[in-house]
Amino acid sequence: MVNAGGILTIAKKECRIQLRYRVVWINFALTPFFMLAPWVLTAKMFSPDFGEAVLVGSLMWYWLNQYFFGVQEAFEDEREEGTLISIALTPISLLEFLIGKGMWILVECVYITGVTMLIFWALGISQAISPQMFAVYILSGLYTFAFSILWGALVLQFRRIAGINFITQEILGIASGVTANINAYPRLMRTVAYILPLTYTIKIGREILLGRTFFEVLPDLAILTIITFLYFSIGTVLLKRAENNLRSMGGWEAW
């Protein structure tokens, strides 16, 4: 049975901490634009539609960026604050702990995406920033979070891989077609792309951008749901295994 109260407690704790650092919200508001603008505006020089499509992929990749860093640093932050052991002693699993963290990251991502969309709107990007697309970005974020649980489990099990977080995100972004159509990729790279949830969220987002209906994107949504569920299931198993090892062997502070 899911400990809903514990999950909400973790989310509220994150909220209270993050709201104390108000300057960080300025960083949240502006950094995504400066990271994404070179790709989007360069693409727009070739074609306005290309610029819109790149913005869709870039925003979805940024959600992955936030969730991958969020779940990875969830353990390190608590260790540095000296509260990881306290959490381990509470009647809450690490999966529920990450879900609580993920709820707060959702709030951050909604804020980041909203502000970034406003800035791009001022620069002439219009179709990719509609309310409908905003809802698509949030939906893609939920799938991304489920996928990131696998990364969080791997970081807890093999802590040194935390050092390749950023390059992992870059590889996932390129393979998923953030700035390109994966149909132009070699067969091997397309094969990799088809097993990544980000590929399908980007594809669905661009299809909706072109005016496709929900029923027209349903096949891709079904595939996305299935593979995300598989990654989430594997992630929860690995996370539970790592948690059990920590509880039996110790080493909560070893990082």
Which DSSP string corresponds to the chain?
---HHHHHHHHHHHHHHHHH-HHHHHHHHHHHHHHHHHHHHHHHHH-HHHHHHHHHHHHHHHHHHHHHHHHHHHHHHHHHHT-HHHHHHSS--HHHHHHHHHHHHHHHHHHHHHHHHHHHHHTT--GGGSHHHHHHHHHHHHHHHHHHHHHHHHHHHSGGGGGGHHHHHHHHHHHHTSSS-GGGS-HHHHHHHTT-HHHHHHHHHHHHHTT--HHHHHHHHHHHHHHHHHHHHHHHHHHHHHHHHHHHH--TT--
The arithmetic mean of pLDDT across residues 117-124, rounded, is 88
Q: Could you tell me the residue ranges of all domains in the chain?
A: 4-249
Mean pLDDT value of segment 204-227: 93
What pLDDT is stored for residue 106 in this prediction? 93
Which pLDDT value is given to residue 255?
62
pTM: 0.89
Neighbours of 26 (CB within 10 A): 10
Average pLDDT on 142-156 reads: 92
* Average pLDDT value for residue range 37-61: 91
Q: What is the pLDDT of residue 194?
A: 94
175-180: average pLDDT: 91
**Whether residue 248 has pLDDT greater than 80:** yes
What are phi and psi for residue 194, nearest 5 degrees? Answer: -75, -10
